[in-house]
Structure 1
Amino acid sequence: MLSQFSKCAVVDDDLKICGTVDAIKVLAEAPSQKISKLYLSEGECYAADIDVSMESLADRMISEGTATAYITKDGKLCGVITANDVLRYYRAGSAGAGAAGRYAREMEPVGCGKEPGTHVYMIKLPERAELIAESFPDYIFSLLQSAARRQCEALLGGRCDFESGTFYSLNKGYASDELMISCETVKKAPFGCTVEAEICDATSCYARCILVASVPGAPGLEKGV
């Protein structure tokens, strides 16, 4: 079965997407095996036109749970957007903007979770009209990122940078005006950490992210684990 994280686009001589291939399956094959024998012509991957806004692209990648978007111009492949690009987009622009930034500062710590290294926050959602006016995925993932940053900065003793991350959309709506955000430390090293954050209420989980952070200027996380 094709994995949404290992599925790659295959292009023909004109750079037009003609199918997909599972990168994990390719790696398991003999080096002499040709891609033409492995790809699926009916396979679909997420492709978007180069003129689509980054906001729309990020929203759709999150809602569809895809880690890669293939960018086309006049029907031809011209680039790739990954989950890490989405993370950089939120970090650079929308992460601290608008109502999400204001309400993120009002997250109320409510103590530790059941698992060691887990912290829990509560937050009141703004009026529904304000949420509708903004992008709901932007709002939710900005809150998740803010909570994860608090966790990472506490673990690392100061400012940190997110190096990579993965976002998951679990439910597109919300049922209450008060949500809980839990942050769990997955891995800790001298110069970095990995944190998983989830936002939910009493009935449903709405979104989750896994973020890798490091101390600015320090060796990579993989060197410290």
Structure 2
Amino acid sequence: MGILNDGRMAADIEKGVRRVRAAKADLAGAAGKLRSDTKTRKSAATREKIMLAATELIVEHNGTDFQMSEVSARCNMSKGSLYYYFSDKEALVEAISDREVEELISQIETVVANASSAVASITGIAGVLSSSLRPRSPLTLAVTRELLNSKQSVLPSVEGRLNRLISIFEAQIDRAKAEGLARPEVNSRLGAISITGAFTFAIFEDRPDDELQDSETFSRELIHLIICGVGTKKARREFGVEEG
């Protein structure tokens, strides 16, 4: 009987030891995850700090011809530490471009979600674009000028960045058709590409960018051109798009 009790006691002790070991392993894992999460948050904060400094330099230089040493100096960090987060200037500018585009698309999606009609949606999108795609805005300088100066093919990058915007415009043209505001025979995809191109390349128009009214006026003028065109009734008849 004593031997049996001794065996049970030993088994209980062994179970207790295993539970203690499991608890220690859980604590170690939790501590490791906490350290990892803290490191991730610090890394994200540092990346954001670097990108903010580079964005300021882009605006100050009116382009992307800044030096990485300027970024490291502004961030009070060594160039070695800077290159730990971004391998070169191209990677840094691309990260800024991606962030700016994401913010732009997010604003546009909010406008579309809250618009009561296709007209309100398209007008709202135009407002966001005209205020964001200013000639000296970080988005314009980081995306357009750097892409145009790139030694690599810019088409894949441009296509990738604009495709989401084109898809949003295409959906709004389809919505306008359903509301009787766009001709049913219009190619929605082609129309969306045309509208996106109009806004994208209109940024080269040198216009004041420090007043909200300028952006609103620019937006209205561009929307009027897109919707109404530049031709008179006579021109539309000449091109066979309007009967006499």
Q: TM-score, normalised by structure 1?
A: 0.25
Which structure's residues are more often helix, by fraction? 2
**Higher-RCO chain (CA-CA 8 Å, sequence separation at least 6):** 2
Q: TM-score, normalised by structure 2?
A: 0.24
